[in-house]
């Protein structure tokens, strides 16, 4: 049965498995573990003693598999068994016989797993930074897979951990650095990165992390969140014992598992029960489940207490908020940014934005403060402020402005300018419904073309995009600035875009699936989730309103330093954010360190790289971003010049632009 159930959570992380040894009677072994509460088993497919080279000549070449495919139904194989490829295989061994046996066995077992319709197979850990032949054989098999995932088993270790624990240098696996490449052998992320690169970043190759008693630094762990982790194998040796003798985990382990739960990673318990159950006995009970397993079996299981503890951790997760529930369907999903001037928004888009009450509360605060600054209490009854909402949509900024006037006791005359004729219909209905006829004038016109009858004290707009200026707020407000008084106020008054390098295997895979250049030169709006943020965001382009002299072209060179204890990393692209000053100290934004809480109008923007950039430990990354402006369009170009050089993406706006 699942670890627990939270409303709105249907992720794979609810299901917990157990690693078991080879058993010829897979039906009984599966029944025992399902009766013990586990959802699936991680089970070897072949007798560990089998070697192809030891087959007697002229006898069957079929290896001694665990029974036959008939002992379980196809649905049972698919739902409750993850195959485990024989861990003894070593395709990079110096022994020719071992290499040959390993290659034959790997292909036989993967073929058998495919025949059984298994959803996934665990393949052994590669030899650190020298698994070329292993990767070649796996890559060949990947070309023929349609549905099954291969989980590469990787221990969660890194150089900082090995140094702290004083691992002996004579152990080949944990040598500090490779003598040829200089790359740290003890950083298991390096093993994974080399292997998946050799396998061409195949979408069916993912990671199963081995979690031991010791954990590397938080920075080293964070790198993994952008990788395709499908499972975390938690060893019983990682558990502590509480005062009552029950298994528990350290605070760091608890935080790690909670994070993995949130990333739909399945947990697998591995190992013996150790001393946690010494002198303890579980009450026996008869158990069965909906699959018919375990009828008449005692539900006592040596790893039951570990499962119960993991279930406890899962149930401790905070409830899923309404905002999270809304965002779940958008997580790591590529969306083309809006073209606000070329296309008219649809009603559903307006409705989504209008539900974000936090944004309009901030705007209301800004108008409130501006009104108090422009009109004294003594003039409040006699002075009328001219306020223009440019890009009024279906009216939420009008409502926020009028509420601010009501709060402050100030008088307003509002002009609502909107180019979308469909939204204008709604605005006219809203004015009648709310009785705003004497206060609000609807203007059906592009703000850049409108000839205002008077100049405004306050200009209000919500033209900001995920990257601040990417929905052409500068160009639109430049056109509207002519009808703002010399001492007039623009809300927002300033906004800045931000950029940060990220590991984002899933996003890169999705862009790659289009199999063309254009999609690698397009910026996407994305609710970032399965990504690793490798360095703090840095400011890129800033725009202020009212605008002083100058054009809207921009260029910025950025240098990112990664935490030393992170180790090496792979950058798939850049996450873009914005922060804006609406008025004085009232701000609005999505840059992570200052993000406005409980706001969902904007997701981040993602600038992909055509080829992921490997950043060795201790190196810096140098990136360049351009904002280019032509007669009919605005576009971005971007490139990396260190530690390696990438092409300039989107030259002359050939793939992606925003139309003026």
Encode pLDDT of 300-326 as tens digits. 899 999 999 999 999 999 888 888 888
Mean pLDDT for 179-207 is 85
Please check if 556 is assigned to a binding site.
Answer: no
Task: Specify the pLDDT at position 392.
Answer: 96
- Measured in degrees and rounded to the nearest 5, phi and psi for residue 465 equal -110, -175
**285: pLDDT strictly greater than 50:** no
- pLDDT-derived band at 57 (thresholds 50, 70, 90) equals low
Task: Specify the pLDDT at position 171.
Answer: 38
- pLDDT-derived band at 287 (thresholds 50, 70, 90) equals very low
Task: Specify the pLDDT at position 168.
Answer: 40
Task: Specify the pLDDT at position 31.
Answer: 93
**294: pLDDT strictly greater than 50:** no
Pairing, β 658-659 against β 633-642: antiparallel
- Measured in degrees and rounded to the nearest 5, phi and psi for residue 532 equal -115, 120
Please answer whether residues 576 and 498 qualify as being in contact, where contact means their C-beta atoms are separated by less than 8 angstroms: yes
Task: Specify the pLDDT at position 278.
Answer: 46
Please check if 551 is assigned to a binding site.
Answer: no
Range 72-76, long-range pairs (CB < 8 A, 24+ positions): 72/26, 72/27, 72/30, 74/116, 74/117, 76/30, 76/291
pTM for the whole structure: 0.90
- Please write the tens of the pLDDT for every residue from 210-233: 999 999 999 999 999 999 999 999
Take residue 329 and report the two structure tokens written for it.
């369907």
577 or 64: which carries more pLDDT confidence?
Answer: 577
Q: Which of 269, 250, 195, 258 is nearest to 228 (CA)?
A: 195
- pLDDT-derived band at 54 (thresholds 50, 70, 90) equals confident
- Please write the tens of the pLDDT for every residue from 574-620: 999 999 999 999 999 999 999 999 998 899 999 999 999 999 999 99
CA 304 to chain centre: 32
Task: Specify the pLDDT at position 177.
Answer: 55
- Please write the tens of the pLDDT for every residue from 10-41: 778 889 999 999 988 889 999 999 999 999 99
Please check if 212 is assigned to a binding site.
Answer: no
**288: pLDDT strictly greater than 60:** no
CA dist., res. 469 & res. 446, Å (int): 18
- pLDDT-derived band at 340 (thresholds 50, 70, 90) equals confident
Environment class of 509 (CB within 10 Å of its CB; exposed 0-12, middle 13-18, buried 19+): middle
Containing 248, the helix (H) or strand (E) segment is: strand 247-248
Mean pLDDT for 474-492 is 94
**522: pLDDT strictly greater than 70:** yes
- Please write the tens of the pLDDT for every residue from 362-390: 999 999 999 999 999 999 999 999 999 99
Please answer whether residues 626 and 599 qualify as being in contact, where contact means their C-beta atoms are separated by less than 8 angstroms: no
Domains of the chain: 12-50+64-317 (3.20.20.150), 347-462 (3.40.50.150), 499-659 (2.70.160.11)
- Please write the tens of the pLDDT for every residue from 169-182: 333 343 345 545 55
In this structure, the number of other CB atoms found within 10 A of the CB of residue 273 comes to 18
Mean pLDDT for 51-78 is 70
Q: Which of 473, 460, 469 is nearest to 577 (CA)?
A: 469
Distances, alpha carbon 18 to alpha carbons 206, 222, 371, 585, in Å:
19, 25, 64, 54
Please answer whether residues 470 and 604 qualify as being in contact, where contact means their C-beta atoms are separated by less than 8 angstroms: no
- Please write the tens of the pLDDT for every residue from 117-151: 999 999 999 988 788 999 999 999 999 888 899 99
Residue 206 β-bridge partners:
151
Task: Specify the pLDDT at position 408.
Answer: 97
Q: Which of 194, 212, 205, 195 is nearest to 156 (CA)?
A: 212
Task: Specify the pLDDT at position 329.
Answer: 86
Mean pLDDT for 448-477 is 94
CA dist., res. 526 & res. 574, Å (int): 12
Please answer whether residues 637 and 554 qualify as being in contact, where contact means their C-beta atoms are separated by less than 8 angstroms: no
Containing 328, the helix (H) or strand (E) segment is: helix 322-328
What integer best gives the mean pLDDT of the chain?
89
Please check if 12 is assigned to a binding site.
Answer: no
What angle (nearest 5°) sits at the alpha carbon of residue 172, between those of residues 167 and 178? 100
CA dist., res. 107 & res. 111, Å (int): 6
Handedness of CA 302, 304, 305, 310 (dihedral sign): positive
Catalytic residues: 462, 471
Please check if 447 is assigned to a binding site.
Answer: yes
Please check if 47 is assigned to a binding site.
Answer: no
In this structure, the number of other CB atoms found within 10 A of the CB of residue 60 comes to 8
């Amino acid at each position: 049965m699942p670890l627990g159930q939270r409303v709105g959570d249907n992720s794979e992380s609810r299901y917990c498995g157990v690693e078991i040894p080879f058993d010829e009677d897979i039906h009984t072994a599966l029944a025992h573990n399902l009766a013990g509460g586990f959802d699936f088993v991680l089970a070897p497919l072949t007798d560990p003693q089998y070697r192809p080279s030891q087959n007697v000549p002229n006898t069957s070449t079929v290896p001694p598999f665990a029974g036959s495919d008939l002992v379980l139904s196809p649905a049972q194989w698919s739902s409750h068994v993850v195959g485990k490829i024989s861990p003894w295989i070593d395709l990079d061994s110096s022994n020719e016989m071992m290499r040959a046996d390993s290659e034959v066995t790997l292909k036989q077992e993967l073929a058998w797993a495919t025949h059984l319709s298994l959803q996934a197979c665990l393949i052994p850990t590669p030899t650190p930074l020298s698994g070329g032949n292993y990767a070649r054989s796996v890559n060949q098999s990947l070309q023929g897979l349609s549905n099954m995932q291969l989980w590469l088993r990787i221990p969660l270790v890194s150089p900082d951990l090995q140094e702290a624990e004083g691992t002996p240098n004579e152990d080949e696996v944990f040598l500090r650095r490779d003598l040829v490449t200089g790359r740290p052998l003890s950083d298991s992320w390096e093993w994974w990165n080399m292997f998946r690169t050799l396998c061409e970043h195949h979408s069916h190759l993912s990671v199963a992390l081995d979690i031991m008693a010791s954990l590397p630094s938080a920075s080293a762990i964070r790198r993994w969140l952008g990788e395709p982790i499908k499972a975390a194998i938690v060893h019983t040796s990682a558990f502590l014992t509480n005062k009552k003798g029950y298994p528990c985990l350290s605070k760091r382990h608890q935080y790690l598992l909670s994070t993995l739960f949130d990333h739909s990673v399945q947990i697998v318990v591995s190992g013996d029960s150790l001393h946690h159950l010494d002198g303890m006995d579980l009450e026996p009970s008869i158990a069965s489940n909906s699959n018919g397993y375990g009828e008449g079996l005692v539900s006592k299981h040596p790893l039951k207490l570990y499962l119960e503890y993991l279930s406890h951790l899962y149930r401790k997760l905070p409830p899923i908020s309404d905002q999270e529930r809304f965002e779940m369907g958008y997580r790591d999903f590529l969306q083309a940014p809006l073209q606000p001037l070329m296309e008219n928004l649809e009603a559903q888009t307006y409705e989504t934005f209008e539900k974000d009450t936090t944004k309009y509360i901030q705007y209301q605060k800004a108008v409130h403060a501006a009104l108090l600054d422009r009109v004294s209490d003594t003039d409040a009854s006699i002075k009328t402020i001219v306020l223009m909402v440019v890009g009024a949509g279906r009216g939420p900024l009008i409502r926020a402005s009028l509420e601010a006037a009501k709060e402050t006791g100030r008088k307003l005359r509002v002009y609502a300018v909107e180019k979308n004729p469909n939204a204008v219909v709604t605005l006219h209905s809203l004015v009648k419904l709310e009785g705003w006829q004497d206060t609000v004038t609807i203007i059906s016109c592009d703000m850049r073309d409108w000839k205002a009858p008077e100049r405004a004290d306050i200009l209000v707009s919500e033209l900001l995009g995920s990257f601040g200026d990417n929905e052409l707020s500068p160009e639109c407000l430049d056109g509207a600035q002519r009808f703002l008084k010399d001492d007039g106020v623009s809300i927002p008054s300033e906004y800045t875009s931000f950029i940060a390098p990220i590991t984002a295997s899933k996003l890169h895979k999705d862009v790659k699936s289009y199999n063309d250049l254009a999609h690698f030169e397009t910026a996407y709006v994305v609710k970032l989730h399965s990504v690793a943020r490798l360095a703090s965001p840095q400011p890129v382009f800033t725009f202020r309103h009212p605008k002083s002299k100058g054009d809207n072209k921009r260029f910025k060179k950025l240098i990112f330093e990664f935490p030393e204890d992170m180790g090496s990393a792979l950058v798939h692209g850049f996450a873009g954010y914005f922060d804006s000053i609406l008025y004085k100290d009232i701000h609005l934004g999505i840059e992570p360190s200052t993000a406005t809480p409980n706001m969902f109008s904007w997701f981040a923007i993602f600038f992909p790289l055509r080829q992921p950039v490997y950043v060795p430990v201790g190196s810096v990354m140098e990136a360049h971003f351009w904002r280019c402006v032509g007669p009919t369009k605005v576009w971005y170009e971007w490139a990396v010049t260190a530690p390696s050089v990438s092409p300039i993406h989107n030259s002359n706006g050939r793939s992606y632009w925003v139309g003026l």
